[in-house]
Amino acid sequence: MSEPNVRITSKELLQKIGDLFTDLADAVRVRIEATEKGMLSVEARVAALEARQTMNYRGIWKADESYRAGNIATHAGALWFAWVPTHETPGKSDDWQLMHKPTRSER
């Protein structure tokens, strides 16, 4: 069986090539848009994670320092968690919550 003899003009060939590039560009654009939407979602998730309150041990509580929400400090032998930004003394306000009170054997 012989192949049919197909003739195409240069103008038609250029048109077909142009159509292929247009289709390819459309497909690439769709993938880029989908990727950008996915990246926006990832960026939003990262921002939310970075904004989360984290625990940070600050060592022994000092009256002249300020503490941020999520800070942890040792005061009077106990471990305290700051719920809000504070200058207050642990155990003297609701800004702090007792995390661990030492047992007699730990004193």
Q: What is the mean pLDDT of each run of 10 residues along the chain (107 residues)?
A: 78 94 95 92 90 88 96 96 96 96 76
- Position 50 scores a pLDDT of 82
Per-residue pLDDT at 49 = 87
Q: Is 25 left (phi over 0), alpha (psi -120 to 50) or beta?
A: alpha
Domain residue ranges of the chain, discontinuous segments joined by +:
1-52, 56-106
Give the SS3 label for residue 101. coil
46-58 CB burial, b ≥16 within 10 A, e <16:
eeeeeeeeeeeee
Cα–Cα nearest to 78, from 60, 55, 102, 56: 102
Whether residue 79 contacts residue 95, with contact meaning beta carbons closer than 8 Å, is answered with no
Q: What is the pLDDT of residue 1?
A: 62
Provide the CATH number for the domain formed by 56-106 in this structure: 2.10.10.20
Supply the pLDDT for residue 90.
98
Q: How many angstroms separate the CA atoms of 81 and 55, rounded?
A: 8
Rounded to an integer, what distance in angstroms lies between the CA atom of residue 88 and that of residue 95? 7
Taking the model in full, what pTM does it have?
A: 0.53
